[in-house]
Amino acid sequence: MKPISIWAANAQSEFTDLEPLAIIDTDEIKLEAYLSSDSFLLVYKWPDQSTSCFRTAFSASGNLWFVSREKKGSSTIYKLESSTFTYTVNIQFPESPLALFRYTVVVRPKLNLLIKFWPKDILSFNKRGTITDNGDIHTNQKGTRSGIIFFNSGIAGSVFYFQNLTAINDYFQQTETSAADTVGGSWPEVGFSLPSGEKPLLKNLSYTVSDAFITLNKEAVTKISDISTRYLDQLANTYLVIPRPERVYHNWLDTVENGLNDLLYHKGCWTFGGGHTYLNAYVADYKTPPEIMVQLAVLLPMMDYVAWKGEKNHQLIDELKAGIASFYQEDMGTIVRWLPALESQLDHSEEQKTPRVMDSWYLHHPLMNLARLAEKGEPEARDILMNSIDYVIRVAHKFKYEWPVFYQMDTLHIIKAETSEGEGGEKDVPGTYADLMLRVWKITGEKKYFEEAVKSAEHLKGLGFNIFYQANNTAYAAGALLRLYKETSKQVYLDLSYDCLAGIFNNVQLWECDYGHAKNFPTFFAVFPLKDAPYTAAYEEQEVYAALHDYLQQAEGIDILPSVRLLISEFVRHMLGRVAYYYPPMLTEDMLVKKTKTGEIDPKLWIALEDLHDGWEQNGEVGQEVYGAGIAFGVIPKQYFKVPGEDFTIFCDYPVKGFKLRKDTVSLTPDGDPALYCRIIILTEGNSGDHEFMVTDSLKSSELKPLKSNSKLIEYQLNGGQSIKIKWQVKKKARTI
């Protein structure tokens, strides 16, 4: 057996001699409560008589004693004391179709106390009462992601543990500690532990030190696809019962015009070279040559926004289109990352800042966008795409559909094979390659491209959570796999898409950081760009948002996991109010770094920062990313719906399906889960104040009453999947005599 800590050894020495203090149970779960010398334990016995032990209250000084037990509604509340703390342990069984329980622990120090150590709160014992190392951790928290650990307890069953880190903010704030890497551990001591602080908890103040939600499943899970689907299902089920922050409406219609104006006229956004002007990647970064990904990352959503407005063109679109062909290299027969006319400026400071060096995902991403342009009827984009596609296939064959991190484009020599030792290369690139091949297949009708997509997708099998390399590319891979499932009806592709989605939702922050600088901006449901990234990133969030929107559209008529609909829809809902805080004018200057890695920050500029950090760190360390300008352009066409001939606009903060217009009536259905709700807002500024609106449930034909109504908007609350009709007429004006 692996070595164990003295705290685990102490628990083991006492465990077999303890008598239950009480039994707390429901039809699904039976917990036994035990009081040891230093811990108040909740113990679950598996069918094979092994046990999982959850340490709630802990006394580092020992001498923990029982005070009282009280039943309050669905709660069982224990009061305990030690020489240093009083404790309140609240045990609940939230309403759930799964075997789920919750314990919340509040401590009150008897004197000012420094916390220098706190043990993990889960131990596993075999039927003889000995700590066992027969466990398998599927995933656990990394950095400031969700406080999750998901593991098999031997062969007896699995445990999905979610620590509601939002509840512990007062502790983090007072001790000036971070929630990062607090949930995890190494078998057999796993779970959550308080970080040690340099500042004390204050006498006679109360602090929540744990708020854990635990789901127990009597079947261990070993098959990769089953791990992903169980993770998604149990995460969604837990999501329904955890406290969640509300979101206020953010007016993207104002934000988009601010951003567009700054993008057009701020000199720090542009570079001239090779006869054209190009967007910089970062504000005031004049040293690095323009990149093709940057131009297309702004161009595509900008075109969608202009079409949404009902306009035919825009000077920004013309400017960006004019320079795309300059990234094509005739001698290699492909597009390249850096503008060839200025590639001599590359300073070789990083592997990729060298002429003709390619980051594997970076070749496919702009070509996917060129394919989207070709689908929109852009002939030049199609030509560049098709002139590059043979090179892309040659690279795939050279690397046997398993791409390294960096390679030399002209020789295909591998410069960096692995993300880190033993981790392999960019494992989601087979999915983006499949996405690209499927798009080219649709454009050309040539089956060889479909066959390439199938061959590439095969290399995602068996990876599970490890598919995830970069969030946006993993999201695009999920969509490609769903399309393969639709074309072939092979369940393996749908399962692989769930592997991708599990990887994405395993890299989000399902808690609200409310300490340090993060008190001033929301963090709930933020997405991290890489599995080891220490910050969330604007561009990757926007691309994940777009890709997951597309995933639900592709899934219409398919019986996908309800948990997937729930999680995607809720991500969209929270993202809409949250990502506006990447814009510096939404923050205060003390929250921004003084010196960035790339370029400069203009705090008045409506161009997004690349990075938002843990609350104790300043933001914008990487820079102010021009290619993040697509956020607002991308949001508006998906969430705001114009009605031709009318001056009101309909907004929904869930993805919408089935939007139809018939004369004076709009019908639509928000996606999502019926257990949760979204908002529909009719924006009535302008002459639309002269309209009367009636919103009815399409199935029940009953009129819905607004939650809020004023001269600017009318707001309604709907459940996920609730179809409605919005009917309007001009108000009848009183006749004057």
Rounded Cα distance between 405 and 408, Å, is 11
Q: Which of 637, 656, 676 is the last residue of a domain?
A: 637
What pLDDT shows up at residue 248? 83
The tokens of 193 are what? 């532990």
- How much of the chain, in percent, has pLDDT values that exceed 70? 99
Q: Name which of 262-266, 501-505, 583-587, 643-647 the model is least confident about.
A: 643-647
What is the identity of the amino acid at 63? N
Q: Which of 146, 144, 159 is nearest to 50 (CA)?
A: 159
Q: How confident is the model at residue 3 (pLDDT cuts 50, 70, 90)?
A: confident
Contacts of 496 (CB under 8 A, 6+ apart): 225, 457, 460, 461, 467, 481
Residues 558 and 409 placed together within one structural domain of the fold: yes
Asked if the structure places residue 625 within a domain, the reply is: yes
Mean pLDDT of 305-326: 94
Beta bridge pairs of residue 709: 714
Altogether, the residues listed in the chain come to a count of: 737
Residues 625 and 657 placed together within one structural domain of the fold: no
Residues 612 and 708 placed together within one structural domain of the fold: no
Give the residue numbers spanning the domain of 550.
252-637
14-54 residue pLDDT tens: 888 889 999 999 988 999 999 999 999 999 999 999 999 99
What pLDDT shows up at residue 700? 87
What pLDDT shows up at residue 226? 96
Q: Which of 178, 203, 222 is the last residue of a domain?
A: 222
Residue 409 has phi, psi (to 5 degrees) of -70, -40
The tokens of 33 are what? 């409560």
Asked if the structure places residue 620 within a domain, the reply is: yes
The tokens of 550 are what? 């597309």
What pLDDT shows up at residue 736? 52
What pLDDT shows up at residue 733? 60
Kindly state the helix (H) or strand (E) to which residue 330 belongs, with its residue range.
none
What is the identity of the amino acid at 420? S
Query: 572, 610 in Cβ contact below 8 A?
Result: no
380-438 residue pLDDT tens: 999 999 999 999 999 999 999 999 999 999 999 999 999 999 999 999 999 999 999 99
For residue 300, the domain's CATH number is 1.50.10.10
Q: Name which of 9-13, 512-516, 646-650 the model is least confident about.
A: 9-13
Q: How confident is the model at residue 735 (pLDDT cuts 50, 70, 90)?
A: low
How many domains does one find in the chain? 3
Asked if the structure places residue 66 within a domain, the reply is: yes
Asked if the structure places residue 234 within a domain, the reply is: no
Rounded Cα distance between 569 and 549, Å, is 8
Mean pLDDT of 253-272: 94
680-722 residue pLDDT tens: 999 987 655 678 999 999 988 899 999 999 988 999 999 999 9
With the C-alpha atoms ordered 391, 396, 400, 405, is the resulting torsion angle positive or negative? Answer: positive
Residue scoring higher pLDDT (405 or 731): 405
Residues 300 and 349 placed together within one structural domain of the fold: yes
Asked if the structure places residue 199 within a domain, the reply is: yes
Residues 618 and 659 placed together within one structural domain of the fold: no
Query: 91, 100 in Cβ contact below 8 A?
Result: no
* Res. 590: pLDDT tops 80: yes
The mean of the pLDDT values for the chain is: 95
556-565 residue pLDDT tens: 999 999 999 9
Mean pLDDT of 657-673: 94
pTM: 0.96
Sheet with 406-408, side-by-side order of all strands: 357-359, 406-408, 414-416
Residues 485 and 569 placed together within one structural domain of the fold: yes
Rounded Cα distance between 177 and 170, Å, is 10
Residue 713 has phi, psi (to 5 degrees) of -160, 160
Mean pLDDT of 462-470: 97
Asked if the structure places residue 43 within a domain, the reply is: yes
Cis peptide before 188 (omega within 30 of 0): yes
* Res. 181: pLDDT tops 60: yes
Q: Which of 69, 109, 108, 63 is nearest to 91 (CA)?
A: 69
How many CB atoms lie under 10 A from the CB of residue 470? Answer: 25
Q: How far is CA 311 from CA 33, 54, 635, 638, 650, in A?
A: 67, 60, 17, 17, 19
Measure CA 293 to chain center.
22
Residues 376 and 482 placed together within one structural domain of the fold: yes
Mean pLDDT of 481-493: 98
Residues 551 and 423 placed together within one structural domain of the fold: yes
Residues 630 and 648 placed together within one structural domain of the fold: no
Rounded Cα distance between 158 and 325, Å, is 54
Residue 486: strand, helix, or coil: helix
Residues 471 and 577 placed together within one structural domain of the fold: yes
What are the start-end ranges of the E strands in 330-378?
Answer: 334-335, 357-359
Mean pLDDT of 169-194: 96
Residues 339 and 391 placed together within one structural domain of the fold: yes
512-556 residue pLDDT tens: 999 999 999 999 999 999 999 999 999 999 999 999 999 999 999
334-377 residue pLDDT tens: 999 999 999 999 999 888 899 999 999 999 999 999 999 999 99
Asked if the structure places residue 243 within a domain, the reply is: no
Residues 632 and 654 placed together within one structural domain of the fold: no
Asked if the structure places residue 237 within a domain, the reply is: no
Q: Which of 637, 665, 692 is the last residue of a domain?
A: 637
492-502 residue pLDDT tens: 999 999 999 99
